[in-house]
Structure 1
Amino acid sequence: MTPRRTAPRPLPSPRRIPLGGRGPEDVVVDHEGRVVTGVEDGRILRVHPHGPARVEQIARTGGRPLGLEVLPDGRLLVCDAERGLLRITPDSPDSGGSPDSGGSGGSGGSGEGKVEVLVDSVAGAPLRFCSNATAAADGTVYFSASSTRYGLQDWLGDLMEHTATGRLFRLRPHGGAPEVLLDGLDFANGVVLSEDESCVVVAETGAYRLTRLWLSGPRAGHRDTLIENLPGFPDNLSRATDGTIWVALAGPRQAPLDWLRHAPVQVRRAVWRAVRPLHIRPLPVARVMGIGPDGGVHHDLRRRKAGYRMVTSVYAHEGALVLGSLLEDGIAVCELPELS
């Protein structure tokens, strides 16, 4: 049976929540219903989104945080593009935030938290461009690295060259070296486990697809495609309580980039050298999709001129969608429309 698709519907108008920092690339919701994100200056922020929004700093990575995962004990996994895979024990749960956090102030902790480096190298080589992570019930961590050739500042170069040097790793709960589960991925990005943890799904941003690796059952070790030919660049992934995998599309597909995928490598590199100084701005389109376990599209929500560019993350929580962006100076929240 072919998985069903649904026509795009309007994404409700988002409400912005300023953070006092730029680039909340990933967003998650903790056990208390608070949004957690990281910004480009290294701060990890916790946002109370209801009523008058309140923002507090709970840690600082010392690098550039990207993907986040809330662990059952309240600690956080943080993929830092400069420092690798981190685990953070947030500062005291109800602190009012430090003066530079953008919050409403008040007494409490320092907002620094405890930062542990779990993985900063693989097989003797520095782990660069650590992108997204998820954790299984037994504590096993699955995480991605987008490229071995380019860092975060030159992410577009990797997409244009299609280096296919992205990797998916597994880190066992009691330490040891990380295992490479998949390599040759075209800009490995968001990572999420299925509801029963029988498979792990990783976004290949440069290939417009979600790739699935089976972890248990008769297909264990087999790699296949959950969904392909997406209408944009899939970025971070999250799984809702109903099993839906939410996909943030950082931008729509564009004909020149599609053509470039099939050009000789020398041409791709030459084009990247030419456009690198131009600082190309993303199109003002916000789009997110909800994918079922069979690869069917349950939600496809799009808004042109949304006032919120380059949506790199989406998290469904209590009838709302929380959006993050690599470029914006705040997160955004909008209503989750019911399925028709």
Structure 2
Amino acid sequence: MALFFSPGTTALLFLTLSLALYCSIDPFKHCAISDFPDFVAHEVASPRPDEVLWERDSQNSLQRSEIRFLNQVQGPESVAFDSLGRGPYTGVADGRVLFWDGDKWTDFAYTSSNRSEICDPKPSAVSYLRNEHICGRPLGLRFDKRTGDLYIADAYMGLLKVGPEGGLATPLVTEAEGVPLGFTNDLDIDEDGTVYFTDSSIKYQRRNFLQLVFSGDNSGRVLKYDPIAKKAVVLVSNVQFPNGVSISKDGSFFVFCEGDIGSLRRYWLKGDKAGTTDVFAMLPGHPDNVRINKDGEFWVALHCKRNYYSYVMARYPKLRMFLLKLPITARIHYMFQIGMWPHGAVVKYSPEGKLVKALEDSEGKVVRSVSEVEEKDGKLWMGSVLMNFVAVYDL
């Protein structure tokens, strides 16, 4: 028996089949993972948003921040001050570390010896992604209070150090236990000169950080650099996007951020628990860097707050894999991941892991993104790997 369809039904059937064919072929390579044939989606044990209780900042306090150095810095991830209180110093997207002398920005240091015209200024921080592995990408910055040396976690060049006069930084370590550093991210320095730092992934470089987030890859590591032995050892392995690091005021532990799960994890350095880890705090969002203030409290920059879309994607990797194979760009997936619009948020925790303060710009009107929070003289200095300014908030 012959089947007959109305013109409308035929058109709908044709469009449906055409869409299915387009999605399966993806002729224009819009798929977020089209260049990653070995991409694997891992489950992330992230809690539901309503399971992490916190008091929201209904005043959107970060909207009162002052925007400084607009269009003078691209992607200032980390903000640091030297032992004399000078600065800020910040690493930017073209591979340099800049110093604010009170009047202007000057070049202080750089991490790559292969710089060329491809590292010249570009219109946005994202514009540098293609050549980051050549120009370098300094992320976490810390000064050694004993020597005045600046330690740099460069996403591609590894862990480096430069003296108080600046210049080309010296590589300290580019591998640990025979495995190259893939995405060196942040660091902190103990009183004896030991450096604790993170390698966010051994599979994905920073220029593919969106695919790293989408994957839930668990190849990240937390490491220790011994300045006497001049080598690094792995302290914690199989971490999903380890990021910021900060040593406690009493030196008994350090905390590091688990970006995908959205937590602060504590690694004990002293006492009966030395060498073990536990959960210090579950965060109301997904973190970037963490910094300690003079009172021993921890400021955590949140890349975005928790939302149910990212929770479902975290818990159901097969669904995530299906959606990622559709011809939808990585940028659109990213917007869903962060809740559809950029928004800044920072939270402060006590030395015992209790949430004591939350500040946000939930509308993204002024502070659209925060990568790090540095407290100094009653002000919060906020850098962002994505923005073209530094935001300053009066406490």
Establish whether TM, by shorter chain, passes 0.5.
yes
Aligned pairs for 1:226-305 (under 5 A) are 226-228=280-282, 230-264=283-317, 266-274=318-326, 275-278=328-331, 280=334, 283-303=341-361, 304-305=363-364
Partner of 2:159: 85
SS in structure 2 at match of 1:261: helix
Q: 1:270 to 1:153 in 2, by over 3 A?
A: farther
SS in structure 2 at match of 1:311: coil
* Code of the aligned partner of 1:57: D
Q: Does 1:317 align with 2:356?
A: no
Aligned length: 308
Query: 1:118-142 CA distances to partner (integer Å, 9 max, x unpaired)?
Result: 1112233321110000000000000
Aligned pairs for 1:62-141 (under 5 A) are 62=112, 63-72=136-145, 73-91=147-165, 113-141=167-195
Give me the CA root mean square deviation: 2.0
Question: Partners of 1:289 and 1:242 in 2: how far apart?
Answer: 15
Question: Partners of 2:168 and 2:221 in 1: how far apart?
Answer: 27
Question: Partners of 1:7 and 1:311 in 2: how far apart?
Answer: 17
Shift in Å, 1:36: 1.2
Query: 1:177-212 CA distances to partner (integer Å, 9 max, x unpaired)?
Result: 311101111100000001111111100010010000
Partner residue of 1:57 out of 93, 99, 107? 107
Report if aligned partners of 1:321, 1:334 keep a CA contact under 8 Å in 2.
yes
Q: TM-score, normalised by structure 1?
A: 0.85
SS in structure 2 at match of 1:40: coil
Question: Partners of 1:276 and 1:162 in 2: how far apart?
Answer: 18
Partner of 1:190: 244
Report if aligned partners of 2:79, 2:88 keep a CA contact under 8 Å in 1.
yes
Shift in Å, 1:319: 0.3
Report if aligned partners of 1:11, 1:287 keep a CA contact under 8 Å in 2.
no
Q: 1:272 to 1:30 in 2, by over 3 A?
A: farther
* Code of the aligned partner of 1:59: A
* Code of the aligned partner of 1:16: I
Q: 1:216 to 1:277 in 2, by over 3 A?
A: closer
Q: Does 1:205 align with 2:259?
A: yes
Report if aligned partners of 2:286, 2:302 keep a CA contact under 8 Å in 1.
yes
- Structure 2 portions without partners, runs of 5+: 1-52, 113-135
Shift in Å, 1:292: 0.6
Aligned pairs for 1:9-28 (under 5 A) are 10-12=60-62, 13-18=64-69, 20-28=72-80
Flag the structure with higher strand content: 1
Flag the structure with higher helix content: 2
Question: Partners of 1:15 and 1:317 in 2: how far apart?
Answer: 15
Query: 1:232-269 CA distances to partner (integer Å, 9 max, x unpaired)?
Result: 111101100000111000112232211011113x5434
Shift in Å, 1:29: 2.0
Question: Partners of 2:277 and 2:330 in 1: how far apart?
Answer: 38
Which is higher, the Rg of structure 1 or of structure 2? 2
Report if aligned partners of 2:177, 2:234 keep a CA contact under 8 Å in 1.
no
Q: TM-score, normalised by structure 2?
A: 0.73
Report if aligned partners of 1:312, 1:325 keep a CA contact under 8 Å in 2.
yes
Report if aligned partners of 2:172, 2:230 keep a CA contact under 8 Å in 1.
no
